[in-house]
Amino acid sequence: MGNEEYAWIHIVALLCFCDSSASQLSYSVSEEANKGTVVGNIVKDLHLDVQYLETRALRIVSSYSKKYFDVNLRTGNLFVDERIDREEICANTPQCSLRIQAVLSNPMNVHRIEVSVIDLNDNSPEFIEQSHSLNISESMSPGERFLLPIAVDADIGSNSVKTYKLSHNEYFSLDVQSGGEHGVSAELLLQKALDREKQQVLKLILTAVDGGNPARSGTLQIHVNVTDANDNTPVFNKSLYKIRVRENIAHGTVIIKLNATDLDEGMNSKIMYSFIKRGNTDPSNMFDLNSGTGEITVKGTLDYEETSAYEVRVQATDQGIYPRSAHAKLLIEIIDVNDNAPEISVTSLMTPVKEDAELGTIVALVTVSDTDGGNNGVTNCKVVGSAPFKLKSNYKNEYSLVVNGPLDRENTSLYNVTITATDEGSPPLSSIRVITVEVSDVNDNAPRFMEPVINVYVKENSAIGSVISTINAFDPDLDNNAKLTYRLLENYPKNIPVSSVVNINSETGDIVSLQSFNYEELKTFHGGTPESVA
């Protein structure tokens, strides 16, 4: 009897040819665009064949909580799928864009898409307060200036506040100034001396107008109370104060001391300091100002990532019966410290991965972000440990986790891939993310018999149909790849076919006698038992 084994194995290999290059598309769309509005045609711009979009499972992937865009698989058109509110997405940011990815399978391709959101003039300028009062002495000379509140407009660019207008009157004109943190501001300019005996209160209307087409506007009531003379105004020793403060500075730390003087005597020269709240910015949330000494201390928690600088207006007011005030500007620059560790997010996980996957097969899309500035926000990302995977950089802080070595499900069926991201701060901060990758089976193992040669002893005159032996084989693959069937190979000693003497159960491997054996006629015979995948 021969000791050869035979195995018939049908192997289907799914090959993934992954494009080593990636493309980036740029589009633009107006905020509040109707659902279904076409942004661009991915098929045309990426030179794809539209008839294969469904088979390649084209889909749009993003890290946003809303699905702003989707793609029409029949036409390749990228269209608006949910309402886009620029002020919600990019408040107070001049440039606004949404970053998404177009992912294709079979083979796997990832294309970055950046959609710029164009601002619409859908917000009117607004003043925080409905009215504003000014106490102005009748002794004030023409040319005196009075700072006015600014209007806030959630829109940007040409749709933000562009100018201010003042209602017609005989005493004041308006000086509109551009620049600074808040863009456009306005001051009342006294043109003609006031006369309290003639008119004690003046009512003016300040109108803020944006640059939209058509333009939107908002108004503020201004009440000017004409008071008697306190003829010297306090004067700051600087019109502009500049300081730099680390974001981790302790609460209660004094960062600067203001200084203003008044040439008057008595209460008319006693200075009280205060913040001026402008628009929706209230400096008293973050800083304390000692009204008597002018010392400014840190009150709140400074965060460079939230606000990198503060532009604060301060006021020095004398304590005369009819007080007069002076104004100065304080610029507080926040110095960044490395207080934020990188964040690792997985935007798409494509598992399980076949054990015969080629090198470079994409397993997951990974994005790393760090809200710190400068080198504190520069990150380096890598796979740690000996797993057969590596990170491939797609764009800045965007990676693909790809196969970097042979996979063998029979040896390891699941990997916990550890990714670490470290910034370049001093000292550096790092984060760890573990991605679980499952490995799926392919038919890459042949069945094996427990023994190369099996000797079976049968008594003569045994009953027909009795099980004389059971053959066992093993296949380390899974499911259908490990399902075995058995059959006998023909051998012809003394011209007796094996199939006429015994039979084998194809599923169990049981060998059954087909005749009663006579020792004097047949002492021994040989047969082969090949096995194959069903």
189 with 147: CB under 8 angstroms? no
Q: Cis (ω within 30 of 0) for the bond into 427?
A: yes
Q: What is the DSSP letter of 534?
A: -
381 with 366: CB under 8 angstroms? yes
Tokens 């949330």 label which residue? 285
Residue 87: its H or E element: helix 86-89
Q: What type of residue sits at position 190?
A: L
C-alpha torsion sign, points 23, 29, 33, 39: negative
Tens of pLDDT along the chain (534 residues) come to 333 332 222 222 222 333 434 578 999 999 999 999 999 999 999 998 898 888 899 999 998 889 999 999 999 999 999 999 998 888 777 889 999 999 998 888 899 999 999 989 999 999 999 999 999 988 889 999 999 999 999 888 889 999 999 999 999 999 999 876 667 999 999 999 998 888 999 999 999 999 999 999 999 999 999 987 777 899 999 999 999 999 999 999 999 999 999 988 889 899 999 999 888 888 999 999 999 999 999 999 999 988 999 999 999 999 988 899 999 999 999 999 998 999 999 988 888 999 999 999 999 999 999 988 889 999 999 999 889 999 999 988 899 999 999 999 989 999 999 999 999 999 999 999 999 999 998 988 888 887 888 787 777 777 888 888 888 888 887 888 878 888 887 765 556 677 777 888 878 888 888 877 766 666 666 655 544 443
Burial of residue 436, with CB atoms counted within 10 A of its CB: 0-12 exposed, 13-18 middle, 19 or more buried: exposed
519 with 476: CB under 8 angstroms? no
Those residues whose C-beta lies under 8 Å from the C-beta of residue 457, and which sit 6 or more positions away, are: none
Measured CA to CA, the distance from residue 312 to residue 332 in angstroms comes to 8
Domain ranges of the chain: 24-118, 131-227, 235-335, 343-440, 446-533
Tokens 């628009």 label which residue? 279
Measured CA to CA, the distance from residue 474 to residue 480 in angstroms comes to 13
383 with 426: CB under 8 angstroms? no
Level-2 CATH architecture, domain 235-335: Sandwich (2.60)
CATH code for the part of the protein at 24-118? 2.60.40.60
SS3 breakdown of the chain: % helix, strand, coil, rounded to 5?
5, 40, 50
Q: What is the pLDDT of residue 534?
A: 34
Nearest 5°: phi and psi at 222?
-115, 125
Give the tokens for residue 367. Answer: 């994005």
Sort strands 172-177 and 161-166 into parallel, antiparallel or unpaired. Answer: unpaired
Confirm or reject CATH 2.60.40.60 for domain 343-440, answering yes or no. Answer: yes
Q: How far is CA 200 from the centre of its chain?
A: 58
* 286: number of Cβ within 10 Å: 18
Q: Is 252 left (phi over 0), alpha (psi -120 to 50) or beta?
A: left
461-509: pLDDT as tens digits: 778 888 888 888 888 878 888 788 888 877 655 566 777 778 888 788 8
**Nearest partner of 153 among 185, 123, 198, judged by Cα:** 123
Q: What is the pLDDT of residue 378?
A: 92
Measured CA to CA, the distance from residue 96 to residue 274 in angstroms comes to 36
Go through the chain and tell me how many residues it has. 534
* 372: number of Cβ within 10 Å: 23
Residue 383: its H or E element: strand 379-384
Mention the CATH class of domain 446-533.
Answer: mainly beta
Q: What is the pLDDT of residue 5?
A: 33
Q: What is the pTM of this model?
A: 0.62
Tokens 């499911």 label which residue? 479
**Strands, DSSP E only, in 84-198?**
97-104, 109-118, 131-137, 145-147, 161-166, 172-177, 185-190
Whether 235-335 and 131-227 are alike in CATH topology: the answer is yes
Give the tokens for residue 481. Answer: 């790849």
Measured CA to CA, the distance from residue 89 to residue 87 in angstroms comes to 6
Measuring CA to CA, how many Å separate 245 from each of 118, 238, 248, 443? 35, 19, 9, 65
Nearest 5°: phi and psi at 52?
-105, 5
Confirm or reject CATH 2.60.40.60 for domain 131-227, answering yes or no. Answer: yes
76 with 111: CB under 8 angstroms? no
Q: What is the pLDDT of residue 302?
A: 94
Q: What is the pLDDT of residue 493?
A: 55
